[in-house]
Structure 1
Amino acid sequence: MYFCYKYICAMTDIKKVSLLSAETLYLQIYNLKEKLGKLESEYWQLTSNVETWYFWFNISFFFIPLFILYKFIERERIFEISFYGYSVHMISSKVNGALEANNLVVHPHDLTSLFPSGMTVTAVILPVAYMLLYQYCTKKNKNFYGYALLLTIFIAYGFDYVFVLSDYLRLNKGMNLTYLLLLNFLVASLAYWLTYLFRWIKMQTK
């Protein structure tokens, strides 16, 4: 019984230490996030404020694609096409977040430090481009994967290449344009499968 008592006491002490360690780590993480937020705000003020061309570049690439989408999206299929675009946005945002967290991809000049990094790309440019492609391929009965691959190549070796040259995008730790190409194609395909799934479910309810 004595040994059992000592064992229980030892385990209790370990749990207390673990809880204290966990709380200490949580406070350290919290404080680091606070400092990071302030540093990101200061960095944005120095490099991407309204007096820089990066700011107006972000503004242009935020509103121009949305205007194009407004002009050319099919009103009769707006919910289906928008669902596909929303799926592209959500998936690409998660992928970008993972890449950013590991410093594989960095967007050093965002629209604002308050929004997630790379929002102009993940929330506007990619979704709009793939939405219009989805609309065209499904309307004309074209091979979506073939056209999506062509568009993805154009984005990777066109837009992303220019972004890298202009320091709007930085690739680290072996990340390159080809990997971005593959990831974007996977995002477009996953969003397509998800949209097809919900279209199939809708057909089953009729």
Structure 2
Amino acid sequence: MSKVSMIKDIDRYDDKIMDLTLEFWRSFGHFGTWQFWANVFFFVIPLALTLIFIDRKRIFQISFFGYTYHMFLVYLDIYFTRNNIWDHPYHLIPYVPVSIPVDGVLVPIIFMAAYQYSIRHNRNFYLVTLLFAVVGTLTAAGWEQFGLLILYKGMNLFHIYLLQISLAILAYWGTNAFLYLQSRGKDINPI
């Protein structure tokens, strides 16, 4: 099979998957379903709480941490979804292949709260993360119980717990690296 014909096959299958995804959303995940409104709830409420409770003095630092966590989680979600390790069958927007309320809002905000708590109260981030990951895992358990998250191929809640901790640590290290560069940037003129 040639490269061009393989690309055409991939495109054809992608079109079929998109058609099935839209058909599923129209049948089971549309505006008239509780699943859609659960997604709306988990999108809006955490954002509203963040706007109320985020530390205004460190808003960019905490937001950078959350954004970094979010990006790692989106990439992980895409990989796991494409490889049938887990699935979020109900989407807020059916054209987006990840769960926006989970990857973009809820889970990153849980760990933004952990990060904010640890820096505001001078607590060990790693220990705080272990505790906040329990909240994230219990949330995943609830989503799984209600069919909003489906786990395959041996994936379980303990794996999700470990993944959340790992992503939080990576986001923490990334944030600290940029904070270090920022502190050094005052003395260095790159141009």
**Alignment partners' CA distance in 2, 1:131 and 1:151:** 10
The size of the alignment, in residue pairs, is 186
Structure 2 counterpart SS, 1:203:
helix
Instruction: Give the TM-score, by structure 2 length.
Output: 0.94
Displacement of 1:146: 0.6
What corresponds to 2:139 in structure 1? 159
Displacement of 1:65 in angstroms is 0.2
1:117 and 2:103 equivalent?
Answer: no
Aligned residue identity for 2:19: K
Q: How far apart are the structure 1 equivalents of 2:135 and 2:110?
A: 11
TM-score where L is the length of structure 1:
0.88
Moved more, 51-60 or 71-80: 71-80
Supply the distance in 1 between the matched residues of 2:96 and 2:69 (Cα, whole angstroms).
18
Counterpart in the other structure of 2:152 = 172
CA–CA separation in structure 2 for the residues paired with 1:166 and 1:35: 27
Q: How does 1:15-34 map to 2 (within 5 A)?
A: 21-34=2-15
Query: Comparing both structures, which one devotes a greater share of its residues to helix?
Result: 1
Q: Of the candidates 11, 30, 35, which is equivalent to residue 49 of structure 1?
A: 30
SS of alignment partner, residue 2 of structure 2: helix
Give the 4+ runs in structure 1 shifted more than 2 A: none
2:74 maps to 1:89 = no
Look up the equivalent residue of 1:57 and give its one-letter code: A
The structure whose Rg is larger is 1
Gaps of at least 5 residues in structure 1 are: 1-19
| Structure 2 counterpart of 1:145, from 126, 144, 169 | 126
Identity, in percent, stands at: 35
For residues 145-182 of structure 1, give each alpha carbon's deviation from its aligned partner in whole angstroms, at most 9, with x where no partner exists: 111111112221x1111111110100011110011111
1:79 and 1:116 map into 2 onto residues whose CA distance is 28
Unpaired runs of at least 5, structure 2: 187-191
Q: Cα distance, 1:127 vs. partner?
A: 1.2
2:2 maps to amino acid:
S
**In the alignment, which of 79, 100, 120 is matched to residue 98 of structure 1?**
79
- For 2:47 and 2:97, the matched residues in 1 are separated by 19
- RMSD value over aligned CA atoms? 1.0
Q: CA deviation at 1:136?
A: 1.3
After TM superposition, give the deviation of residue 76 of structure 1 in Å. 1.8
In 2, Cα distance between equivalents of 1:136 and 1:174: 33
**Offset of residue 117 of structure 1:** 2.1
1:60 matches 2:60: no
For 1:187, the aligned partner's letter is L
